[in-house]
Structure 1
Amino acid sequence: MSSFQNIVTSQPQLLTQAHVIQTDAEALAIAKKLAEQFKLNAVKRDAERILPYEEIEAYSQSGLWAITVPKAFGGADVSSYTVAQVIALISGVDGSIGQIPQNHFYALEVLRNTGTPEQKQKLYAEVLKGARFGNALAEFKTKTAAVKHSTLHKTQDGYEVNGEKFYCTGSIFAHRIPTLVKDQHDREFLAFIPRQSPGLELIDDWSGFGQRTTGSGTVKFHQVAVSAEDVIEFDRAFTQPTLVGPFAQIMHAAIETGIARAAFEETLIHVRQARPWIDSGVTQAVDDPLTQYELGRMIADVRASEVLLKQAARSIDAAKPNPTEENIAQASLDVAKARAHSTETALKTSSKLIELAGSRGSQREDGLDRFWRNARVHTLHDASRWKYYFIANAFLNGLRPPRRGTL
């Protein structure tokens, strides 16, 4: 068994009551402090693939994993822009840690839209105490990404789940693993399966060259029993007007925007240390006109991604009180613009970091390549070319984009 195929036997323990954040401002202040803390060993974690167990525990205990819980259930229910800013801040110092809670927030958004009051009361209460939700959504062995083989069968005591999932980001650190399954009528459900359930096998076999410590490996389910109260409707989150899709995508855009901003700031540090190009006629790299030109383009690109991210978040929040076909479509398109731009910006900026740092930027101990590797792997979630297609189709032909989590 290789080092990337470890059976995970440890069970995360739910500690004492986590801190409960009250406001958007408090969430951002805590995120900034945690970002400073997580930055300290980020290069080492990436280089040696050290899974961030302690960091994730601190992250959830800080209260930040509960900031989308509705006020009626005791949460802060912060704005979408605050969620995006928190994710961008953390992603800038460690792209892996920045991505890990994405599916946790996604599951909570599905719960908000299709869960019963009793299910919301139960699961929101767990999250406020510090519980973390992973994910088991995607499948690796099907012909297309749309095909799902994992099943949900009714039993005398509830349900039984069978199947195998991959790209299960965050599940290694999770107390529950929300799992996408189909019943005999081909309806889709999300089963919030406790990590300690008999028949659940978690395998640390994620070997991506970027986002190396997200723990996005395999989860197998063999006759796993799940209570009926832990199974919620999933397909209804997309057959009716909801913000599940654009909310899922804005978090991805935030991850990439955070990586882009951090790569740019790292570029400034290394350009100040770099030697000028021999033909530049200057004695400092900061005075090299072609370096300044490239930095100017980076500044414009990063700022544009940040503005598009803010606009998309405001579009989501504007639709939140009364979601309709029209404002959901507008939010989806605004998020698609942000996501398409952030994909390109993260890739360009992280590549220019190494170019402008010069030969010194290739030294392994500095770990500058992690920004590009993290951006490249994360941007594979969805193709930006298809986002541009849907944007153009809306403007040219008035066609609404599809309602799903990948736009």
Structure 2
Amino acid sequence: MLSLDQALAHYAQLKALPTQQSLALEDAHCRVLATDLTSTLDLPPMRQSAMDGYAVHASDLRHATTQPVELPVTQSIAAGDTPRPLPAGQCARIFTGAPLPDGADSVEIQENVHADATRAVFTQTVQSGRHVRQRGEEVQAGQVLLHAGQRLNAARLSIAAGAGHAQVPCRAQSRVAIIVSGSELVAPGSERGPAQIFESNGSFLAHFVRDQGARVSRLTRCPDDPAQLSACVGAALDDCDMLLISGGASVGDHDHSRAACQANAVHELFWKVAQKPGKPLSFGRGPDGQAVFVLPGNPASVYACAMLHVRIALAHLCGVTAPAPLHAKLTQPVSGDQRRTRLLRVCVAADASGQLTARPLPHQASHMTSNLASANALARIEAGQDWPAGHIVSCWLNTDLG
């Protein structure tokens, strides 16, 4: 049986797919950027007004605090307009985001000006550059905005669009096949026998895989039949970079998943990890290098193994930085297991002082999932002793911060 750290170290051997493709922004959500993305222009691309007001020469108002200055309003400039040059002794009505006319160097906000359509009276001096967004003050053309290996979320895609990119270079999407085994399982919404339960692992794993930027190549439900399971594994290996099998990871009479993998030339690298839940986890490599996980069938075990093991392995396959834990203090005492690291479902939040806290949730058994509605992290509880409230623990958030 491997320690948790020994098991996690195995996934560093996985490498991102070398191919890439150019995708339209609307098709690139959750995909991984293949190369650095630079700006095609300065941002802002021109001098702009930061406020609604009047564009002026600051020098025209140098005595305005002692003697009000009246200037003719010779033009009105909205965002998207092309202004005329502004000579000294004139002002221009201007609105937020509008380009500053050549000659003007400042904007006085409209609240400080007494004006009508043709004349404006100024009673305060302004500094040169006041309320002006300078060209390129945020980004200069050619500057790197996004780095290779970043997952493209809505905010990053917005940055790409604002920098002039209609398409972005993305790494090839990893293909993940999912097999859910168990004769007791029935699809949600179908008729359930008295000894059957609704199958939830397939739905969870499929959505989880897509959240990581990978593609579900197939989702198959299979009974606890050795021949059928072996056939399902063989078919899945033909079209995937990673195979996830839920159920059949242990040594019971109806646990056939590991044997089905071995029958399809999967080389098992480890079986059993000193963690709770998820001890019977198995990991290996398929005949063409596919990453193959056999996960315990209990839903909370699947959740814990996916959120930590599969997530880190997928990060390597997708070419993104593997998620790192943050640290939070326990809000209540927690009992450690004698021999295994506990992966505790917790709610991480900031206390009044801003320090992160980890609140353990009830119903931690491996077959219980109701607390997933509140859990936003897994806390690592080391084996061998009990831990008091206030003890600092490592926590993996459900959602990447990077």
TM range (shorter): under 0.3
Bigger-Rg structure (1/2): 2
Q: What is the TM-score normalised by the length of structure 1?
A: 0.23
Give the helix-richer structure, 1 or 2: 1
Q: What is the TM-score normalised by the length of structure 2?
A: 0.23
Give the strand-richer structure, 1 or 2: 2
